[in-house]
Structure formats: structure tokens, C-alpha cells
């Protein structure tokens, strides 16, 4: 994480970790907090590349829905280590607010 307390140090992230440890064969999770202002990583480059491809496509054709983003991501880097894009359905996503509610309510600030 980038050490942003509002986004990362909250009950949802803690509930996610608890859920993973409880439901999967994982003994340990290591969460690394990066130094604020020094958070550029490979993911940033990937997002930038996909954004450029999206803008290039939008100059010629509209993008009608989220399902078309899959193709945009595939086209973003077609050669030299192309991105592996896996299309998933909405059923594989969890609503973390609901998961958090099942993990307990002991998330108060002293």
C-alpha cells in the first residue's frame, strides 16, 4: 500500500486479511507500506499503457461498456511481454462491506 490511512488502514482491509487467512491455506500475509511519495511501481506503468490505448481507441470508436475494457487491456501491449488479461465474472468478487460485517464490529478508534 502507499501508506494512505483513509484507503488502506481500515476495517475493510483488515477484514479482507482475516477472511483470506480463515478461508484459504495461508499462514502469513505481509503488508508492505511504501514511503509516501515513493510509490511508483510496475502497476502504474501498466495502468498508463492501458489508459493510452483506451484514448487511442476512443479517437476512432466509442467504448460502450466495461466488457470492452478486456480488449483494450489486451491491445495495450500486444508485443514484447504482452499483458496476460483474464476475464472474470462478477460472481468472483466479494462485497467487502458484507464480509467486514461478518468479521465482527471491533474496529473502533480509542
- Domains of the chain by residue range: 1-39+93-110, 41-78
Q: Is 81 left (phi over 0), alpha (psi -120 to 50) or beta?
A: left
Separation CA 110–CA 28 (nearest Å): 27
Q: Can you give the pLDDT of all 110 residues of the chain as single tens digits?
A: 455 555 545 777 888 888 888 889 988 888 877 777 666 666 678 888 999 999 999 999 999 988 888 899 999 988 888 889 888 888 888 888 788 888 766 655 55
Please state the pTM of the whole predicted model: 0.57
Four-CA torsion 14, 22, 42, 7, nearest 10 degrees: -10
Amino acid at each position: 500500500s502507499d501508506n494512505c490511512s483513509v484507503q488502506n488502514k481500515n476495517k475493510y482491509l483488515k477484514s479482507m486479511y482475516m477472511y483470506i487467512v480463515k478461508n484459504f491455506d495461508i499462514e502469513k500475509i505481509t503488508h508492505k507500506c511504501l514511503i509516501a511519495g515513493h510509490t511508483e511501481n510496475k502497476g502504474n506503468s501498466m495502468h498508463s499503457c492501458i489508459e493510452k490505448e483506451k484514448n487511442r481507441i476512443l479517437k476512432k470508436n466509442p467504448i460502450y461498456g466495461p466488457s470492452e475494457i478486456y480488449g483494450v487491456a489486451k491491445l495495450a501491449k500486444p508485443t514484447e511481454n504482452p499483458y496476460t488479461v483474464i476475464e472474470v465474472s462478477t460472481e468472483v468478487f466479494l462485497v467487502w462491506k458484507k464480509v467486514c460485517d461478518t468479521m465482527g464490529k471491533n474496529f473502533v478508534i480509542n
